[in-house]
Amino acid sequence: MRNKITFIATVVVLLGLLIGAYFYVFFRGSSLTVAPQTSTSTLPVSGSAAGETATTSLVGMVPSSSTQISPRLLEITKGPVAAGVVALDVGTTSASSSPDVEVRFIERQSGNVYAYDEKTGVLTRTSNRTLPGIEVAQWLPSGETAFVSYLSDDLSMVETYALPASNASSTTGFFLPQGLADLAVGPTQVLELASGSDGSVASLVHTDGTGAVNIFTSPLSSLRISFLGKNYLAFTKPAASLPGFVYEVSKAGAFTRLAGPLYGLVALASPSGAWVLVSYTNNGVMGMELINTGTGKATILPVATVADKCVWATDDSAIYCGIPSAAPTTGAYPDDWYQGALSFSDKIWKIDVTGRFAQLVLDPSTTTMGSLDAEALALDPANSTLLFVNKNDGSLWSYEL
Amino acid sequence: MMLLRAIALTTAFSACFAVFLVSPLGARAQFDSTTSTDPFTLSLSSNPQPYGTVAVTPISGAISTTNGTLVAKVGGVTVYSGNARTFSVPLGAPGAPVTVNVTLTIAGVPYTESATITPQDVSIVAEPLSSAPPLYPGKPLPAVGGKVRLVAMADLRTAAGKRLDPSTLAYTWSIDDAEDTNDSGIGKDAIIVDSPLSYRSSAVSVTVTSADGTLSGSDMFSLVASDPVVRMYAQDPLLGVLFGRALSDTFSINGPEASFYAGTYSFPTDSGAPSVEWYVNGSAVQNGSIITLRPTGQGAGSASVSATAGTGDAAGSSALSVSFGSASGGGLFGL
């Protein structure tokens, strides 16, 4: 009898423990825990420097992800793509037809390079080099190489890498100096800017990274640079509540002020260097003007945006911009946009430099594409196709002009 | 008879004198000439900057300009015509002299004066020694309790258009009207100043002079400090930090974990980068710019996540309400 009671009690206790454990494991409340910090990078980086080669087994045609929204508007890929694309004219079928445009872009999560043929709708992966986390890409006009920028493992430094567009390319990738303050890519040369506490030094290198030559120095340490025809353009990094300036820098390194002081100044040079588009902010309201570099005369434009949201036509005849429909006057521009604190709802406008008028090109609200915050605008050499990335989701779009 | 002759002579003399007084001849004689020898001067109201305009004001202590009319010409082209008052003159390139010829007419009497204005380009550029994430394309703002580097960009040219080497020019800096002799001198084109206190401003000015003292230009800058800002961004293991969208209000963790990056803007950096501390539900959990959070347990839940950064007196924070898990999963063995 006694043994029987002991046995039953033991079973009851064990059952109670099992039931308690069951509820503890499967019905305890949810919470957040902090993962331990690791010193290793969470971003896999492709190989090392020069000499790397990638396998070709994964390169080839992939299913097209493009979506035709309207006869002229095409979503090439939902992305996200790295900000910075290039469009090439790969030849025409006849003299009277528009050029066949090939768009090259980089998939942000992998660093793979893709080429999209506008005419055939075929999407091809041309490079499977793995380089995730690319923030910005600047392409050679030939489309052979993209100079990509991303953050180092500890997110404290900028890394810049020359990424060949094709695995089959004879060009190997290579790293540019670490921590570059800015970079500008021309047809045959690359302009690098290194900055320190006492100023900046700009160097010109060949597109293969060789032959670096110092071009100019400046006591300014917070600059952005680009080519301006045969000279160079330098402007102070913008801030909404600080006056900014834009300068033409001669080959001898002399700085000549073109515009400023203007708050929030951002500048965009025309391909020939004859014009500079300048955007600025005045009491929370954005403005834009066109500077003739020959005469210094400024013409105020009827539309306004941040100049980073614009692209020049290859013949200087026009500028295409993403113009916010109703930018809040309480915003600090371009700071809030740069910091991701606000996004714009854009329409695409064309500013005709020769004819001196502005023309609406694309109103996204009349399509099914949703809200557009345009960045990384690009044009093919024939000015027949406009490309842009939607900053809201990293999708890539083309519009036939 | 002699009396009559005297009266006649006196009357004739008086008549002639009266005619003389009211005749133009008399007026000219009173003011020496139709174009007076500097009865008025031209005052420039601001340091002339290239490609801008300069305000010119006629000033005189000898004649009243109030009721006068003025015509100003530059290169034979009229730039102003109207009441005698301040007018604007357009300027050209640095070192390119602009001569303005002014004719001031008062009571029908014209007076002329001319002035040659040679604009020289001097601009102060502010470079705050403040924080911003790498790859940030803009410039941070002057930090409370921080420092700002001010650079004078000088483009001084002779009338012949020859540009002077900025390193050979003399820079005289002043802060709130007090000359900073320690930071002034030849080639001293940059200084570092303390940011003013909150809701205050500092006036910094610089005068740049050529070695021979014949050319000079100046500029003034009003320095104001700003509050620092912390912005939280999602960090994806493949996409990197998503700087395009600063997180605010709510965030949903849909996978096994989520990482966040705290971007610090406009914190002082003269004593190093700002330190970031993370809080979950009000409890400090980790330091550093990145945090990775993992949902545990069953069911849906939420937590407050915030990042606080500080350096000296400058502090800022950003907070999110993070949701995770799912409401289902209450069946047998969590299925």
**Lookup: tokens for B309:** 């950064």
Give how far Cα A174 sits from Cα of A108, A140, A181, B38, Å. Answer: 19, 15, 18, 71
The pLDDT tens digits of the residues spanning A175-218 come to: 999 999 999 999 999 999 999 999 999 999 999 999 999 999 99
Q: Distance (Å, rounded) from C-alpha A287 to C-alpha A124? A: 41
Q: Which A residues in the span 74-93 are in contact with B, Cβ-Cβ below 8 Å?
A: 80
* Mean pLDDT for chain A overall: 88
Nearest to A239 among B51, B139, B290 (CB): B139
Helix, strand, or coil here: B204? strand
This model's pTM is above 0.90: no
Phi, psi angle pair for A312, to nearest 5°? -85, 145
Work out the average pLDDT over A135-156: 94
Q: CB within 8 A of A219, min separation 6: which ones?
A: A198, A199, B151, B153, B189, B190
Phi, psi angle pair for A115, to nearest 5°? -125, 130
B331 inside 8 A of chain A by CB:
no
The pLDDT tens digits of the residues spanning B267-310 come to: 999 888 899 999 999 999 999 999 999 998 878 889 999 999 99
Pairing state between β B314-324 and B249-253: parallel
**Lookup: tokens for A245:** 């300036």
Chain A interface mutation, best of B127, B191, B222, B259, highest count of A Cβ atoms under 10 Å = B127
Q: Distance (Å, rounded) from C-alpha A128 to C-alpha A124? A: 11
A294 inside 8 A of chain B by CB:
no
The pLDDT tens digits of the residues spanning B128-147 come to: 999 999 999 999 999 989 99
* Binary contact (A255, B141; C-beta < 8 A): no
**Lookup: tokens for B153:** 């960009």
Q: What distance in Å separates residue B333's CA from the closest CA in chain A? A: 6
Work out the average pLDDT over A106-126: 93
CA dihedral A329, A281, A191, A349 (to 10 degrees): 60
The per-residue pLDDT for A99 is 78
* Mean pLDDT for chain B overall: 85
CA dihedral B155, B160, B165, B170 (to 10 degrees): -70
Whether the pLDDT of residue A42 is over 80: the answer is: no
* Binary contact (B292, A34; C-beta < 8 A): yes
B192 inside 8 A of chain A by CB:
no
Which 8-state DSSP code applies to residue A167? T
Nearest to A43 among B149, B237, B242 (CB): B237
Residues of A in contact with B236 (CB under 8 A): 109, 133
Average the pLDDT over each of A146-150, A339-343, B12-16, B201-205 and give the range with the smallest value: B12-16
The DSSP element (H or E) to which B10 belongs, if any, is: helix B2-22
Residues of B in contact with A307 (CB under 8 A): none
A63 in Cβ contact with A55 (< 8 Å) = no
- ipTM summary value: 0.87
Q: Distance (Å, rounded) from C-alpha B172 to C-alpha A334? A: 33
Q: Distance (Å, rounded) from C-alpha B42 to C-alpha B73? A: 13
* Binary contact (A31, B224; C-beta < 8 A): no
Q: Distance (Å, rounded) from C-alpha A361 to C-alpha A350? A: 6
Q: CB within 8 A of B241, min separation 6: which ones?
A: A133, A135, A151, A155, B133, B233, B234, B235, B261
The per-residue pLDDT for A25 is 60
Whether the pLDDT of residue B22 is over 70: the answer is: no
Work out the average pLDDT over A37-49: 44
* Binary contact (A34, B333; C-beta < 8 A): no
* Binary contact (A236, B139; C-beta < 8 A): yes
A85 in Cβ contact with A137 (< 8 Å) = yes
A391 inside 8 A of chain B by CB:
yes
The pLDDT tens digits of the residues spanning A46-76 come to: 433 333 333 333 455 555 578 888 889 999 9
Sheet arrangement for strand A199-206: A182-185, A189-196, A199-206, A213-218
Residues of B in contact with A109 (CB under 8 A): 236, 238-239
Pairing state between β A158-164 and A174-175: antiparallel
Residues of A in contact with B263 (CB under 8 A): 339
Q: Which residue shows structure tokens 């940030």?
A: B136
Within 10 A of B255 (CB to CB), how many other CB atoms are there? 8
Name the pLDDT band for B17 (thresholds 50, 70, 90).
very low
Q: Distance (Å, rounded) from C-alpha A304 to C-alpha A324? A: 8
* Binary contact (A32, B237; C-beta < 8 A): no
Average the pLDDT over each of A58-72, A114-128, A290-304 and give the range with the smallest value: A58-72
Work out the average pLDDT over A117-145: 93
Q: Distance (Å, rounded) from C-alpha A390 to C-alpha A377? A: 10
Nearest to B123 among A155, A224, A245 (CB): A245
A269 in Cβ contact with A288 (< 8 Å) = no
**Chain centre distance of CA B69:** 34
Phi, psi angle pair for B259, to nearest 5°? -115, 145
The per-residue pLDDT for A55 is 34
Residues of B in contact with A247 (CB under 8 A): 153
Work out the average pLDDT over A290-318: 95
The per-residue pLDDT for B255 is 87
Burial of A150 (0-12, 13-18, 19+ CB in 10 A): buried
- Give the number of residues written for chain A: 401
- Percent pLDDT > 90 in chain B is 63
Name the closest residue on chain B to residue A219, using Cα atoms: B151
